[in-house]
Amino acid sequence: MISTKLKLPCGAILKNRLVKSAMTERISNKRFEPTIGHEKLYKKWADTNAGLLITGNVVVDRKHLESAGNVCFDDESMLPKLSSWAESSKKDGNHVWVQISHSGRQTNKFGTSKPLAPSEVKLSKMGLFGKPRAMSEKDIDDVIKGFTKAARLSKLSGFTGVQIHAAHGYLLSQFLSPHTNLRTDQWGGMIENRSRLLLTIIREIRNEVGPNFPIAVKLNSADFQRGGFTEEESLEVVKMLDKETIDLLEISGGTYEKLAFFELNEEVGIKESTKKREAYFIDFAKKIRKVSTIPLMITGGFRSYHFCNEVLQNKEVDLIGMARPFITNRESISGFLKGEVLSLENFVIRTGIKKLEDAAEGGFYARQLIRFSKGKSFKGDMNPLWSSVFLILYEFKIAMLKKFFN
């Protein structure tokens, strides 16, 4: 099953069911454009033969970066560089989609000390985030236009689809969550209002790119924190999405305050049934199947060839999303698709200091991607303590360089 084609609602065809899910590359130049590093990175991923590659966070507002090394799709003059990136990512008919995002309150202080957000709810994590300013109607309109322009540039430059990032605590996820959205206007309150920005962006992008260009949405199953976005609310959003013209729904979970995708890798406190079944969000997928016909993808936990085929055969999901294996097991992916490699190694990066564990994992994988962008290979013996402080130092260095040169 993993090697079979999938036809999306818009008519596009994916050549197989394996997807490289989004991972932030952090290697843009001082003008927030893609670099030769992106081309090197994506050529190697195209060689894996995965049917779909999804880029890391491409932001719509250069003042609201997820990382100082983000690419920002906001200027037609960068089209030649965008086109080179898109072209380097294609091989033997695969797709490559742009993940479009706005960080909202999850923009760190190296980017801005006063980020925009639905409401003035500060993110408290290591003192790295400023108190946000509640968005005005004009701010919201600018974000809608930013997402739409980024989608237009994606299509013009040769990317074959887009994914709207409404998960992991970024801006659209912040609007969905009652923990971060305290508004009392048309953008807050009931889940129908909290979903309005996401639905508006989907419709505007569809009007911009036409009926045959794939549009995906990445959505949290839950925020995994008290007072946050719940599974019940997520299912309500899925029902709304089912009435829109989208082609793929990817399910994930967590925010910067609760990094579920790292913590689940620890396999502590997870239900035994979930451990046996590998995929982190497979139980939630069953609930989605009851309320939606949108093609469904889960990212997180997949490591064995037979299990991937099992869930595809059972129609529990339509696509298998993997992220970290495209770093740690990059050279084995093509063999995995053929059934020649039956399992992929699961790396767990730990310092032994609980407060540093998510930073250590994040830093470890960030360092690997930067190595790949320079044509280097995977290095598994990196010091986890150094990895835990790497991101802060790297963010500061890149942010300062950009401010100096601009």
1 domain-assigned? no
Q: Could you tell me which residue, 270 or 342, shows the higher pLDDT?
A: 342
Pairing of strands 13-14, 6-7: antiparallel
Residue 405 CB-density burial (10 A; 0-12 exposed, 13-18 middle, 19+ buried)? exposed
Contact residues for 113 (Cβ-Cβ < 8 A; gap 6+) = 130
105, 171, 175: which is closest to 133 by C-alpha? Answer: 105
Number of domains in the chain: 1
Evaluate whether residue 406 is within a structural domain. no
In a domain, 379, yes or no: no
Q: Which two tokens stand for residue 88?
A: 């380097």
Query: Are the C-beta atoms of 211 and 245 separated by less than 8 Å?
Result: yes
* Contact (CB, 8 A) for 268 and 31: no
Percentage of the chain surpassing pLDDT 90?
77
Stretch 223-235: mean pLDDT: 84
Q: Does residue 394 surpass a pLDDT of 70? A: yes
pLDDT-wise least confident of 67-81, 86-100, 276-290, 306-320: 276-290
Confidence of residue 395 (pLDDT cuts 50, 70, 90): confident
Q: Encode pLDDT of 22-42 as tens digits.
A: 999 999 999 999 999 999 999
- What confidence tens digit (pLDDT) does each residue in 251-300 have? 988 776 655 554 455 443 444 444 445 677 899 999 999 999 999 999 98
pLDDT of residue 269: 41
Residue 380 falls inside a structural domain: no
The mean pLDDT of 56-82, rounded to a whole number, is 95
Q: What is the CATH number of the domain that holds 63?
A: 3.20.20.70
Query: Do the domain assignments include residue 404?
Result: no
| Residue 366 in domain | no
Q: For residues 106 and 66, is the Cβ–Cβ distance under 8 A?
A: yes
Higher pLDDT, 263 or 152: 152
Task: Please report whether residue 395 resides in a domain.
Answer: no
Question: Is the pLDDT higher at 397 or at 102?
Answer: 102
Tell me if 27 is assigned to some domain. Answer: yes
pLDDT value, residue 406: 59
Q: Which domain holds residue 260?
A: 6-346
> What amino acid occupies position 362?
G
Say what percent of the chain tops pLDDT 70. 92
Using the predicted structure, report yes or no on whether residue 224 has a pLDDT greater than 80: no
